[in-house]
Amino acid sequence: MVKRGGLSTGDVAAQYKYKNTVVDVKVDTESNISTTLTITDIVPSTKTIASFKLPDYNSGKLEVQYFHHHATFTTAVALNQSPDVDLSATLGTPTFAFGAEAGYETTSGKFTKYTAGISVTRPDSCASIILGDKGESIRASYVHHLDQLKKSSAAGEIARKFSTNENTFTVGGSYALDNLTVVKAKLNNHGKLGTVLQHELIPKSILTVSSEFDTKALEKTPRFGLSLALKP
């Protein structure tokens, strides 16, 4: 549940599993019903996902994912009269990876998005660079684990929008209080402070409490969020 001003929103979700099929259903406070059907290994090493949202009958989407030891490929097609097509691919090893994605609009014959990125992962750190927004933005981030058990970590990120020459610097960190509880915090140069507390109530079921403050305008009402993910 999330509260913004005097408005509260929330979701109720359920999941059903049978052999290689998973059905997820979610109902929100605006009476929208989202349903996702996932079937694994119709063809070896693939996953097929069909989703739709009621009462929006044009929201249907079909997605096919293919997995390989050093690569993944995904194709998603909207199920309507003028479908958009999304393509993505990732290649790499546990140490180095390269990925790219693109969106194509069939009615106009134009690309709606294209993004590319690389990442380097080491036992105690991870760094990545992402070129997004059709080449209009670039984001570089670095995460360093401060201990061998990875209970605590520090992170930094630099983002730039070329069209507005706007730069955003963000620093953050996370710390595991115990095996079930993690706290996270981040602060950017615009004064936005975000905090998250996650606690595993029972195996695979996580309670998350989040907040966001504008440290440069403390008179503004902070934003708070609460979510509970239950898995069988």
- Of 25-29, 123-127, 145-149, minimum mean pLDDT range: 25-29
H or E segment and range at residue 121: strand 110-122
| Averaged pLDDT, 170-187 | 96
| Averaged pLDDT, 90-96 | 94
Whether residue 33 has pLDDT greater than 60: yes
Whether residue 88 has pLDDT greater than 90: yes
Percent of the chain at pLDDT > 70 equals 95
Give the integer Cα–Cα distance in Å for 82 and 195: 41
pLDDT at residue number 77: 94
pLDDT at residue number 57: 76
Whether residue 73 has pLDDT greater than 80: yes
Whether residue 30 has pLDDT greater than 90: no
- Of 32-41, 90-99, 188-197, minimum mean pLDDT range: 32-41
What global pTM score does this model have?
0.73
Q: How many CB atoms lie within 10 A of CB 147?
A: 10
Give the integer Cα–Cα distance in Å for 148 and 136: 37
pLDDT at residue number 8: 53
Confidence of residue 208 (pLDDT cuts 50, 70, 90): very high
Percent of the chain at pLDDT > 90 equals 63
Structure tokens at 214: 């504008």
H or E segment and range at residue 119: strand 110-122
| Averaged pLDDT, 122-130 | 95
Whether residue 6 has pLDDT greater than 60: no
H or E segment and range at residue 156: strand 152-161
pLDDT at residue number 82: 82
